[in-house]
Amino acid sequence: MLTMQDALARLTSYWTDQGCLVVQPMNTEVGAGTLNPATFLRVLGPEPWRVVYAEPSVRPDDSRYGENPNRLQTHTQLQVILKPDPGNPQELYLGSLAALGIDVAAHDVRFVEDNWASPALGAWGLGWEVWLDGLEITQFTYFQQAGGINLDPVSVEITYGIERIIMALQDKNHFKDIAYGPGISYGEVFGQTEYEMSRYYLDDADVAANRQLLDLYAAEAQRLIDAGLPVPAHTYVLKCSQAFNVLDARGAVSTADRAREFARMRRLAGEVAKLWVARRDELGHPLGRVEPPALARPVSTPAGKDGTRLLVFEIGTEELPPSECRAAQGAVERELRSGLAGTRLAHGDVRVFATPRRVVAVVTEVAAREDDHVRTVRGPKLAQAYGADGAPTKALEGFLRGQGATLDEVAEADFNGVRHVVLNRPETGGAAAEVLAPVLAKVVTGLRAAKNMRWRDPQLSYSRPIRWLMALWGDDVVPVTVGLLAAGRRTRVLRTAAAPEFEIASAETFMETLAFNGIVADPEDRRELIVTGAQDHVYPEGRVDVRGEAALIDQITYLVEAPTPLLGTFDESYLTLPDAVLTTVMRKHQRYLPVRDADGALLPMFVTVANGPVDVELVRNGNEAVLRARYEDAAFFYRADRSSAPAELRSRLERLTFTDKLGSMADRAGRISSLALALAADLELSSATLNRAAALVKFDQGSQLVTEMTSLAGLMARDYALHAGEPRAVAQAVYEAELPRNTGDDLPASLPGALLSLADRLDLVAGLAATVGLPTGSSDPFAVRRAVLGLLAVHRAHPALAGLSLTDALRRAAALQPVPVSGEVLAACAGFLAKRLEQTLTEEGNPIDRVRAVLPHADRPSVASNLLAQLASVTANPDFVAVAEAVQRARRIVPPSTPAGYDAGILKEPAEVALHSAVVAVAAELGPSPEPDLFRFTSVVSRLVAPLATFFDEVFVMADDAEIRAARLGLLATVRDLGAGLLDWPELQLR
Amino acid sequence: MLTMQDALARLTSYWTDQGCLVVQPMNTEVGAGTLNPATFLRVLGPEPWRVVYAEPSVRPDDSRYGENPNRLQTHTQLQVILKPDPGNPQELYLGSLAALGIDVAAHDVRFVEDNWASPALGAWGLGWEVWLDGLEITQFTYFQQAGGINLDPVSVEITYGIERIIMALQDKNHFKDIAYGPGISYGEVFGQTEYEMSRYYLDDADVAANRQLLDLYAAEAQRLIDAGLPVPAHTYVLKCSQAFNVLDARGAVSTADRAREFARMRRLAGEVAKLWVARRDELGHPLGRVEPPALARPVSTPAGKDGTRLLVFEIGTEELPPSECRAAQGAVERELRSGLAGTRLAHGDVRVFATPRRVVAVVTEVAAREDDHVRTVRGPKLAQAYGADGAPTKALEGFLRGQGATLDEVAEADFNGVRHVVLNRPETGGAAAEVLAPVLAKVVTGLRAAKNMRWRDPQLSYSRPIRWLMALWGDDVVPVTVGLLAAGRRTRVLRTAAAPEFEIASAETFMETLAFNGIVADPEDRRELIVTGAQDHVYPEGRVDVRGEAALIDQITYLVEAPTPLLGTFDESYLTLPDAVLTTVMRKHQRYLPVRDADGALLPMFVTVANGPVDVELVRNGNEAVLRARYEDAAFFYRADRSSAPAELRSRLERLTFTDKLGSMADRAGRISSLALALAADLELSSATLNRAAALVKFDQGSQLVTEMTSLAGLMARDYALHAGEPRAVAQAVYEAELPRNTGDDLPASLPGALLSLADRLDLVAGLAATVGLPTGSSDPFAVRRAVLGLLAVHRAHPALAGLSLTDALRRAAALQPVPVSGEVLAACAGFLAKRLEQTLTEEGNPIDRVRAVLPHADRPSVASNLLAQLASVTANPDFVAVAEAVQRARRIVPPSTPAGYDAGILKEPAEVALHSAVVAVAAELGPSPEPDLFRFTSVVSRLVAPLATFFDEVFVMADDAEIRAARLGLLATVRDLGAGLLDWPELQLR
């Protein structure tokens, strides 16, 4: 059996064979190998660097007394830095797994999107988690920034989680059982340390002492920065970080502390990085500079051919994130179509396919060359081309000289109706390869993702590195070059294939070569394979909810290019865990499809989709072990959480930051609670259930399970509250406070739940609007849009809440914030709400005019929504239409400034007197501020229909007599205002 | 070329092949691999443990900004722990060197005594530095105690200094030039860190902050101890240690601090160790317990033989320290002779030889068996054996029953003149093997050293492990067993020999087998080989001062068993360094013999003596490189020291502890200065030279060179003072203050030098007597005996100091101490001085009676010494003899209580009157308290010779008349007292 120490030795040896130095772990506590100066400092600046080292990585917060099978206060990382990117780091990495004896062709090794960022270090990168049969064994990152400084060249950072790898290889369920060395287990070597250091971090570390240490370290770091010594300064930044982590594990970090300390560490780390760069400059870069790689040179253009052939263009990438993969498919198609349109090359269908490792464009019947044509070159206006003597002007002469043409070649043509002299130049169409090359190059350079990164290519920037281009028009290579890449006829198939690269003879054989190698290029086909494959594999009584899991299936479709669905099972005993826990683990963490029986109950099995022709038994076993470990973890958390009272869990919210300026989660929960109770009091909806639920709201965010899986918030609250003996209604309300979690989710059914849900969202909107601003464009990190949609939905769902003005409620929420919320901000919030309501109502299929007509009630969405429903019916009622038309007619006639009211004594005409009487009666019946009810309004106001018709027929409003005119306008203004506040009448289109 | 990282990998791999675990370095700063819990904690308790790990070892005090070629603030140790002692750790270690590609047969690999102790950790062990061609590359220790706890089983600790090994293997002169990895140097990887961390440790570390850290760490360690958590507590002890080291490097540790912090760390480390042991007990020793090895069983005794044969007995050891080796030779001989004497085995010569790895006893003509003899068993007295009836008494019957004898066997014999009944029992002598076995076993078990250690043998304890026994009487193995060892016929020759073990057929061939394998068993022969070899090798004009280097040659004799002298050279430029610096390095650090020209000037060469048939060129080169590095170091220090003013160096004495209770070296220098000035004032010897020299005294102890080589104290003071422009006399006085450094050394020539020298030694004696006590037995850690001998020598050398009473001076010195010095202590000091003086004078060849006679002047040794010289001459003077005899006669006659003085009027007899007159005249001439001068005394007092003779002839002193008797006795008492205070007359033996 490969022991852990052997594994470390083998990996180290493998990477030294790849030219890496070996250095020792940092001799002060670090949370990760990244913090070792051999990474953090060395990735900065232009010097090359390749290193491998082990790093015992201390995570005080992960202390579990050695009891949790998968979590340790200190685990062992093996860290590799390759600077610059060698161009094939994934392949090198797979070689390292092989060096460990892992048969990468038999296992399912996958690169799953993972973007890494350390705000405290001003560092980030893009890359993957590497999965071995579903187990995350490595973090693989293209390091983009450190200490706030852009990295050039970019480094590849590979971080192996040794304990996990070894547990998988040795088939162990507890880290203590790892064979560490011959005849000695990990537990035997490190068990006591794991226990005691956990005790220190969780229970016994002196908080006051560690606070002092933190300050001393920070001061020392600053002094050393001031002294121009980045190396010792960095050491003290690391010590800061450890002291902070100890305090955090001891639960001694307040929100204010956290924000301040992160800012301080970020600043210090940034200054250290700057200083290091400056020092290396001063020292003249002792390790030299990375030479920029030579740009690709195009292959020679093939000789001209005839006929039409298939064009295939493959952009080979490292594993794209699913969303980017899908986006690339569209973008490439658009860019290619528009590029082709810019040429005169005849072609047939354009189709684009995408897998995680390639975007393939296929264009049928691409002509061998563009059609010949005549190019018209515009010269001066005719009027200015010849003098009065008919001789060419200087302008014409200059034009001819510039074009190298003579006067006898000149013709004439109109441009925008103006006659110009022109030159008609016949041009031969370009050969396909020649014409296509720049078009295809532009497709590549045009690729952009939501988050872009750099690698060794000096010209490209994209979601993940682009590693090869294959471009064939029939048998010929299209000589595309971009950055370091020159397109050729080589493609790559699965990395684990016996022959991972192929020469493609002609475009026409390409897709079958891919298919032959198991690669399903078309996402539709892959999806189908996954869905049918999953269904085929599950036991007869089980089924995969294809519709319910659509989003997950879509994601999986873009995670594999050679889908191999396979079934795994887990121990039935885990079914005692809540359904949501089980499925969250499957979906979010593992991308496994849950399997249910006919009644929708979970079965102890799952479907995972491997990539390529793996050893199914091996991969199944691996994935089952991973899920077991995850469930074991969840069960551990679940038991631990259940053993804590809700009040105790809630007290932990003190330690969770909401935002820097808006305090802790405890602060937020307090505000939600206050607000919900206040709203209830206003609405006379107070209840014991609400009181209790408000006291508990969000308590489950203090639980371990929700900390691990935030999407379980609310669900676990209900579970734990019930377990703790809370009344069912309270437990339900605390759950419902989190609803709706997304569009289409359930809404709170109970009023206490609804009030808490509203209060939650009101607090979020008011606080964030005042601090980070309302969302604009696609950026909405706190999901304020979703919160507002929830707000509207909850309000609309509960008639009892109809009286609640959301703008009033927002004002109340604002008053509870720890920051001032200005009137402008509140107005912006109201506008934002109204806009969301308009959008929602429209999306529900309501005509936009009616939606807009009810928008004055946007702050009471249920009112607006109710009016909209009435509108659908009353607009078919002639009385309503007549009234509405009258109102609109009055509105058109009466200047907006004219107030309602008039001297009734002035009115003499029978028609106007009759209208006056009718209006007085109607107004009296409607009352001063009626509830918005179109049915009643219509029935009351319909009595004006006849008098109004007569009035408009018989009375000339704009009488010469100013008094009479004023009285008549006043009468009409009164009519106009009878419906004021009910609808935005002008918006309503009546026919 | 083997890079440093390859070397680490190879050693790690070698030791894992030997069953070692690999762990990571400690993730907090440590000064040595020993501090890693994988050593410090794991050596405790009964559990087995084998581990190898690299340890970046931080020594803030060794910071040199990366400028010094051999000294780094962080160097890399590779640490190996073998618990229990595997029985062959040296052989395993040599295997590791071979794994590095070192041809251990070609190189000179030696195990040179080195005893390790860390008072701050309560830890110690015995072992060696391992030398590779003169370079210390490894520390090899049998770990005996940690945290004040005795280790059982004992661990073997092997600590490689990787940078040094690699520098040697790569033939580099500066650590920065080490090839660390392929194409990258150590300097390129670590140069900046080395510089910046040096800056931190030497210049920029904040003292106040590190003080606070130290206290916080210590408090946290204590809290964790109280919480029963040894692992985190240990971490904090390590942090204490680092903070302390930082403060120390910053020059911020006062004497009081140092003493307090060491005590605190020792206490904490001790508590951690206790706690760890207790926890492991509680946990039931998860790694099991080391099984005690099985004791040896003797081989069967050979069949009886005849004749006489040679006996050889070899005790094979790991390398004994030279002093122990020499002592063992004597001890084995004594023990063997006395053991043989207790047998009846006839034998010839007994000779014993010793080398570092063996003690060999050779006894010629050992008889095959003891002579047969008759043993007489004594029974009851004859008188009590038979009753009146002649029948045996009960006593006789009991005796016979007890002996299983019958009455007819009874005989008679005298014991002390009393007749007893006896039984004469013929006994057959034992066979040689049988008789010798217990004798030889006792020789082994009787071995004891000044410092003894334990290894895996459950029964033995000695200076170093005893690994084999070879015992042959002729062809037969003598079946000796001791502990794990059973003697056999196998011996071991050089470990690097092609066949390192041999079977010896018969005792007679043993010595030639050794010789054949290059081993020179007889130290006399080795010495001769070394001396002649050295002389043969040096260049014609050079010579080795065999007499001057006798002590070193003696030491070398016991450092090698196959001496191979070889000549090395060094760069002439180093000859600009002081002679003492060069020779100190050669002798003390390297055991090289200096080579001088006919005028005694050093030549740029040296002789080293390798062990065994090495590759001379290789070993020469290696040793030359080592010396070069050492000289480079010394030159670095020398330059640095010279660039500091003496006053600045002196200020550094504040940081050097003299003893816990007696303050810093600066305190001590201050006391010496005050005392010297005060004594000078008393003696009217004050001078500007003395004043200045007193202000500087001991300043060179603050220099780097003296810190490195303490034996250069004084010499460097003179050099640096002259360089700083001090007057020659001042420089000389500061040098002379250190004289004499040992017996036979030069004495101060100048009075200022002499006064400072005296003051130095007086301060030492007074302070230590009051705190640690005067030396007893062999324990004299502060060399108080030597100081006293110096004191006496200096006093005697300077007539100007004759007036100085050392007891008075001691009283003055006592008054300056920071601790009270009682009258009793001072009296003890005076007694100690007198005893040393007696010893010295006797050793100079003076008759003991005369020495004792002058001892009343012990507190003015020059007086005593002067009187002694006079005695040598006056004792040949009949007058003196007559006077002395008269004085002694008077003393015999007169009771001691009788005072001098008498009523002269009572004296009537002419002889007594004449004597009276003469006495009066003589007393008048001598004066009341004459200077002690035997010549003058004799010439004056000789006038009494005749009157005394007459008096004794004619006067009967003990007259009946009481008055007359009293007067006569008074007269004689006056005579007696004429010489009082001059000599201790009764001690003087006149014939």
Give B86-126 pLDDT, tens digit per residue: 999 999 999 999 999 999 999 999 999 999 998 888 999 99
Beta-carbon separation of A232 and B19 below 8 A: no
Beta-carbon separation of A231 and B196 below 8 A: yes
Beta-carbon separation of B199 and A28 below 8 A: no
- Least confident range from A913-922, B204-213, B275-284: namely A913-922
Per-residue DSSP letters for A150-173? EEEEEEEEEEEEHHHHHHHHHT-S
Residue from the list B54, B206, B224 with its beta carbon closest to the beta carbon of A200: B224
Q: How does pLDDT run across B186-197, given as a tens digit for each residue?
A: 999 999 999 999
Count Cβ neighbours within 10 Å for each residue of B208-221 and write b for 16 or more, e otherwise: ebbbbbbebbbebb
Task: Report how far apart the first and last C-alpha atoms of chain B are (Å, whole number).
Answer: 82
Confidence category of residue A258, pLDDT binned at 50, 70, 90: confident
Residue from the list A5, A28, A206 with its beta carbon closest to the beta carbon of B21: A5
pLDDT at B743 over 70: yes
Beta-carbon separation of B287 and A197 below 8 A: no
Q: Smallest CA–CA separation between B629 and chain A, in Å?
A: 26
Q: Smallest CA–CA separation between A17 and chain B, in Å?
A: 10
Phi, psi angle pair for A488, to nearest 5°: -145, -155
Residue from the list A184, A209, A286 with its beta carbon closest to the beta carbon of B220: A209
Q: How does pLDDT run across A265-312, given as a tens digit for each residue?
A: 999 999 999 999 999 999 999 999 999 899 998 777 777 788 899 999
Contact list in B for residue A56 (CB cut-off 8 A) is 24, 27
- Locate A495 and state its tokens: 């990395």
Q: Where are the alpha helices (DSSP H) in A33-88?
A: 37-40
Q: Which residue of B has its CA nearest to A76?
A: B24
Q: Which residue of B has its CA nearest to A187?
A: B286
Q: Smallest CA–CA separation between A188 and chain B, in Å?
A: 6
pLDDT in the model for residue A208:
94
Beta-carbon separation of A26 and B27 below 8 A: yes
Confidence category of residue B469, pLDDT binned at 50, 70, 90: very high
Residue from the list B30, B180, B220 with its beta carbon closest to the beta carbon of A21: B180
pLDDT at B145 over 90: yes
pLDDT in the model for residue B417:
86
Q: Smallest CA–CA separation between A190 and chain B, in Å?
A: 10
Beta-carbon separation of A25 and B24 below 8 A: yes
- Least confident range from A906-910, B251-255, B513-517: namely B251-255
Contact list in B for residue A23 (CB cut-off 8 A) is 189
CA A415, A419, A423, A428 dihedral sign is positive
Residue from the list B196, B197, B287 with its beta carbon closest to the beta carbon of A188: B287
What 3-state DSSP class applies to B843? helix
Beta-carbon separation of A29 and B29 below 8 A: no
Q: Smallest CA–CA separation between A255 and chain B, in Å?
A: 25
Q: Which residue of B has its CA nearest to A209?
A: B216
Beta-carbon contacts of B777 under 8 Å, excluding residues fewer than 6 positions away, are none
Helices A878-893 and A962-978, axial angle in degrees (round to 10): 140
Q: Smallest CA–CA separation between A240 and chain B, in Å?
A: 13
Beta-carbon contacts of A390 under 8 Å, excluding residues fewer than 6 positions away, are none
With tokens 């934002």, the residue in question is A832
pLDDT at A985 over 90: no
Q: Which residue has the higher pLDDT, B217 or B782?
A: B217
Beta-carbon separation of A192 and B229 below 8 A: no
CA A672, A673, A674, A675 dihedral sign is positive
Q: Which residue has the higher pLDDT, A889 or A813?
A: A813
CB A182 within 8 A of CB A208: no
Beta-carbon separation of A206 and B184 below 8 A: no
Contact list in A for residue B227 (CB cut-off 8 A) is 199, 204
| CA distance linking residue A230 with residue B192, whole number of Å | 10
Residue from the list B20, B25, B192 with its beta carbon closest to the beta carbon of A283: B192
- Locate B264 and state its tokens: 């605190």
pLDDT at B991 over 70: no
Q: Which of A204, A275, A276, A282 to mutate to test the interface with B (most CBs of B within 10 A)?
A: A204
- Locate B301 and state its tokens: 């005794």
Q: How does pLDDT run across A606-649, given as a tens digit for each residue?
A: 999 999 999 999 999 999 999 998 898 899 889 989 999 999 99
Q: How does pLDDT run across A452-485, given as a tens digit for each residue?
A: 999 999 999 999 999 999 999 999 999 999 999 9
Residue from the list A28, A54, A192 with its beta carbon closest to the beta carbon of B29: A28
Confidence category of residue A851, pLDDT binned at 50, 70, 90: very high
CB B61 within 8 A of CB B50: no
Contact list in B for residue A205 (CB cut-off 8 A) is 220
Instruction: Give me the percent of chain B exceeding a pLDDT of 90.
Output: 67
| CA distance linking residue B680 with residue B85, whole number of Å | 60
Beta-carbon separation of A5 and B25 below 8 A: no
Contact list in A for residue B188 (CB cut-off 8 A) is 286-287
For residue A554, with 0-12 CB atoms within 10 Å meaning exposed, 13-18 middle and 19 or more buried, which class applies?
middle
pLDDT at A580 over 80: yes
Beta-carbon separation of B197 and A13 below 8 A: no
Contact list in A for residue B181 (CB cut-off 8 A) is 16, 20-22
| CA distance linking residue B340 with residue B328, whole number of Å | 18
Q: Smallest CA–CA separation between B28 and chain A, in Å?
A: 4
pLDDT in the model for residue A942:
85
Beta-carbon separation of A22 and B13 below 8 A: no
| CA distance linking residue B494 with residue B109, whole number of Å | 11
From its phi and psi, is residue B847 left (phi > 0), alpha (psi between -120 and 50) or beta? beta
Instruction: Give me the percent of chain B exceeding a pLDDT of 70.
Output: 100
Give the mean pLDDT of chain B.
92
Q: Which of A4, A59, A192 to mutate to test the interface with B (most CBs of B within 10 A)?
A: A192
Beta-carbon separation of B223 and A230 below 8 A: no
Q: How does pLDDT run across A737-787, given as a tens digit for each residue?
A: 999 998 888 999 999 999 999 999 999 999 999 998 888 877 777 888 999
pLDDT in the model for residue A991:
64
Q: Smallest CA–CA separation between A495 and chain B, in Å?
A: 30
Q: Which residue of A has its CA nearest to B57?
A: A27
Confidence category of residue B983, pLDDT binned at 50, 70, 90: confident
Task: Report the Cα A343 to chain-centroid distance in Å.
Answer: 37
Per-residue DSSP letters for B747-790? ---SHHHHHHHHHHHHHHHHHHHHHT-S-BTTB-TT-HHHHHHH
pLDDT at B930 over 80: no
Residue from the list A22, A27, A37 with its beta carbon closest to the beta carbon of B28: A27
Q: Smallest CA–CA separation between A483 and chain B, in Å?
A: 30
Q: Which of A8, A51, A229, A280 to mutate to test the interface with B (most CBs of B within 10 A)?
A: A229
Q: Which residue of B has its CA nearest to A7?
A: B22
Residue range B341-367: mean pLDDT, rounded:
95
Contact list in A for residue B6 (CB cut-off 8 A) is 16
What 3-state DSSP class applies to A239? helix
Q: How does pLDDT run across A476-534, given as a tens digit for each residue?
A: 999 999 999 999 999 999 998 989 999 999 999 999 999 999 999 999 999 999 999 98
| Max CA separation in chain A (angstroms) | 114
* The one-letter amino acid at A115: N
A49-58/A21-22 β-pairing:
parallel
Contact list in A for residue B209 (CB cut-off 8 A) is 216, 219-220
Q: Which residue has the higher pLDDT, A17 or A964?
A: A17
Beta-carbon separation of A54 and B212 below 8 A: no
CB A24 within 8 A of CB B27: no
Greatest mean pLDDT among A172-181, A773-782, B406-415 lies in: A172-181
Across the A:B interface, residue pairs with CB atoms under 8 Å apart total 142
pLDDT in the model for residue B658:
84
Beta-carbon separation of A219 and B232 below 8 A: no
Residue A503: CB atoms within 10 Å: 10
Q: How does pLDDT run across B48-73, given as a tens digit for each residue?
A: 999 999 999 999 999 989 988 888 99
Q: How does pLDDT run across B384-399, given as a tens digit for each residue?
A: 889 888 888 998 989 9
- Which residues are paired to A776 by β-bridges? A779
Beta-carbon separation of A206 and B200 below 8 A: no
Q: Smallest CA–CA separation between A135 and chain B, in Å?
A: 25
pLDDT at B633 over 90: no
Q: Which residue of B has its CA nearest to A228?
A: B196
Q: Smallest CA–CA separation between A340 and chain B, in Å?
A: 51
